[in-house]
Homo-oligomer: A and B are copies of this chain.
Amino acid sequence: MLTQTAVRSEISRHPARNIRPMSPQACFTGEVNPLEQRMRLMGAVMPYPRNAEIFGESDSAEYLYKVVSGVVRTYKILNDGRRQIGGFYLPGDVFGLESGDEHTLAAEAVTDTKVLIVKRSALTALAARDATVARELYALAARELRRAQERILLLIKSAQERVASFLLEMTERAPAGNTIDLPMSRQDIADYLGLTIETVSRTLTSLETTAAIEVPTSRRIVLRNRSALTRLNG
């Protein structure tokens, strides 16, 4: 799993980064729970173009982030050059939660993205006075924990199971009938699932061959036989 030549894919993998965000702008759309309301009052919305860095690994974790539109990935680069994606965040998702005061993962925009940014200190101050906010912060961390635990289970499964789980996760999180429009590249998926692009690609074609899915274009996948996927899921 670990070889010197892992650097190869690394080079092709991260072409044009360090794109800078655009200027901030106001935002008054979204849900209506207390935490959300407060965040909107306290935070600013920043737009990031595709592949822009939102924060770096070991940046100070001064802010909390919420996806307004677009998709974000968090990731970590291992010392041998491989990249592990921590998660994909869709509109409404909060990312940047950390236990310490430094981020352990970096974050980038997968697509052009708008992100609501809130000072962590403002939120914790608020949580000290408002138990509802505190409870919601806790719930966020607990939900994130559950997702991480599911990832752990995923990573001990076979390639087929991982890809099937990924597809099911995606339809659940961005429901649009049986069609999934993937915002991320094969490399992103591979680094999320702990596989190589080749294996992801082959697995998708194999699922297509067994009529479980259709792949009209590489970024679009249609689920044809959900129960076959669920069965694979474990």
Contact = CB atoms under 8 A, between A and B. Distances in A.
Interface stretch (A10-18, A46-54, A126-134): A126-134
Interface in A139-165: 139, 141-146, 148-149, 151-153, 155-158, 161
A142 B97 contact: yes
B82 A145 contact: no
Interface in A63-80: 76, 78-80
B1 A156 contact: yes
A138 B139 CA distance: 9
A99 B139 contact: yes
A84 B234 CA distance: 12
B84 A156 contact: yes
A145 B2 contact: no
A91 interface: no
A181 to B, nearest CB: 26
A113 interface: no
B194 A84 contact: no
Contacts of A173: none
Given A135-B127, A141-B141, A152 B97 contact: no
Which bracket fits the contact residues of A? 35 or more
Interface in A10-65: none
Interface in A185-205: 194
Contacts of A149: 86, 104-105, 148
Nearest to A85: B152
Nearest to A74: B149
A79 B156 CA distance: 13
Contact of A153 (B76, B98, B156): B76
B145 A141 contact: yes
A124 interface: yes
A185 B143 CA distance: 31
Interface of A: 1-2, 76, 78-80, 82, 84, 86, 97-100, 104-105, 124, 127-129, 131, 134-135, 137-139, 141-146, 148-149, 151-153, 155-158, 161, 194, 234
5 contacts: A1-B161, A99-B143, A104-B149, A141-B142, A156-B194
